[in-house]
Structure 1
Amino acid sequence: MENVNFIQMFLNWLATFEPRVLILAASCIGAGLAMIAGIGPGIGQGYAAGKGAEAVGINPKASKQVTMVMLLGAAVAETSGILALVVALILLYGNPLVTASGAGIILAAAAIGAGFSMIAGIGPGIGQGYAAGKSTEAVGRRPKFQSAVVRTMFLGQAVAQTTGIYALIVALVLMFANPLTKLL
């Protein structure tokens, strides 16, 4: 019972703010939340780099091929972090919710929700980095198969990116075409 009272008091307190102020504050929170997605690419790229170093240590003659695969794979692993950055920058610099009409609390929740949705980018970043690391390791062992390994790596990374793309779509819908505002 106390929790219900607290939630009601909190919502009443939020209602004392101008909607624009509430939306701007929520946009800051959403932008920060979106950047949590950077954890995935950091882990994934670190894994790829570690596997690259390991592969070069095992087969120094394949250093160029290993480095190329590691860099290509790590670049793809960064995409979910880039998508999260785009959402954070939109929330901070081009947020359409600030001028949208509707209840301030719903628009503020949309800004926070857009940031939360981008946390899904952690998975693709880790998965793509893992693929890059294993591919780098494979090229280190068998450099003559670099082309086939990279092709397979890119295909796997493309599939792994889908959840990051879904998160981006949800964030963009919340910011630009929020269907909930039409229900007011």
Structure 2
Amino acid sequence: MGEISNLVMFVLEWLSQFSAETLTISATIIGAGFAMIAGIGPGVGQGFAAGKGAEAVGKNTDNSQSVTLVMLLGAAVAETSGIFSLVVALILLYSNPLIGLQGAGFVLAASALGAGLAMMAGIGPGIGQGYAAGKGAERVGNRPEYQGLIVRVMLLGQAVGQTTGIYALVVALILLFANPFLA
């Protein structure tokens, strides 16, 4: 335990040589990179949806338009957590309100990093929503007469699944624009 606290003290002492602005800019760059890791979720989810759509069309080519529509609609919803992450990354890179603020450099830097890290919560919704889209496309391929019902249920499930991504976006925006530790 003593070695860990010595390492922490060493790192904090080393960081203290940098200005608050330098720390914040550095953490902003890293935070933006972390935010974009959330793109893993939509990528996996959309790939699953596309695969299930292709599978459904391969089994029943007569329903290809219906299956494609459901797959594309579901995949678009699955992308929202990736879009949220992109927005936070762009805010961090181009208009981070923390840069230039007076205050504890470490708090400012941690806020920028925290905003980026928070967006990693978007991985789950992207995968889950893509899974729902894939299953929706699969079912429409098998039962095209139920397309309307399947799409409604799929979208309702995706909306509920998106809440984690929305929570992450809210936390990231609070850290950037209404940080309670900077008051």
Tell me whether the two structures share a fold, i.e. TM-score over 0.5.
Answer: yes
Does residue 110 of structure 2 align to residue 106 of structure 1?
Answer: no
1:31 positional shift: 0.3
Equivalent position of 2:159 in the other structure: 158
CA distance in 2, matches of 1:146, 1:36: 33
**Structure 1 gaps, min length 5:** none
1:80 positional shift: 0.2
1:6 positional shift: 1.3
1:145 positional shift: 1.0
CA distance in 2, matches of 1:23, 1:42: 30
Deviation digits for residues 150-184 of structure 1 (CA, Å, limit 9, x no counterpart): 111111100000000000000000011110123xx
1:100 positional shift: 2.2
* AA in 2 matched with 1:176: F
* AA in 2 matched with 1:107: L
Deviation digits for residues 32-80 of structure 1 (CA, Å, limit 9, x no counterpart): 0001100000000000000001100111000000000000000000000
1:99 positional shift: 2.5
Equivalent position of 1:176 in the other structure: 177
Equivalent position of 2:98 in the other structure: 97
Equivalent position of 1:72 in the other structure: 73
Does residue 135 of structure 2 align to residue 134 of structure 1?
Answer: yes
**Structure 2 gaps, min length 5:** none
Deviation digits for residues 100-136 of structure 1 (CA, Å, limit 9, x no counterpart): 2211110100000001100000000000000000000
Q: Map of 1:143-154 to 2, 5 A cutoff?
A: 143-154=144-155
Equivalent position of 1:51 in the other structure: 52
Equivalent position of 1:6 in the other structure: 7
* AA in 2 matched with 1:37: A
* AA in 1 matched with 2:85: A
Name which of structure 1's ranges 93-102 and 119-128 shifts more when overlaid on structure 2. Answer: 93-102
Equivalent position of 2:63 in the other structure: 62
* AA in 2 matched with 1:12: E
CA distance in 2, matches of 1:17, 1:99: 14
Equivalent position of 1:122 in the other structure: 123
1:144 positional shift: 1.4
CA distance in 1, matches of 2:101, 2:157: 39
* AA in 2 matched with 1:73: G
Name which of structure 1's ranges 64-73 and 3-12 shifts more when overlaid on structure 2. Answer: 3-12
Percent identical:
66
The alignment covers a number of residue pairs equal to 182
SS at match of 1:132: helix
| TM-score with structure 2 setting the length | 0.98
4+ runs deviating over 6 angstroms: none
Name which of structure 1's ranges 144-153 and 64-73 shifts more when overlaid on structure 2. Answer: 144-153
| TM-score with structure 1 setting the length | 0.97
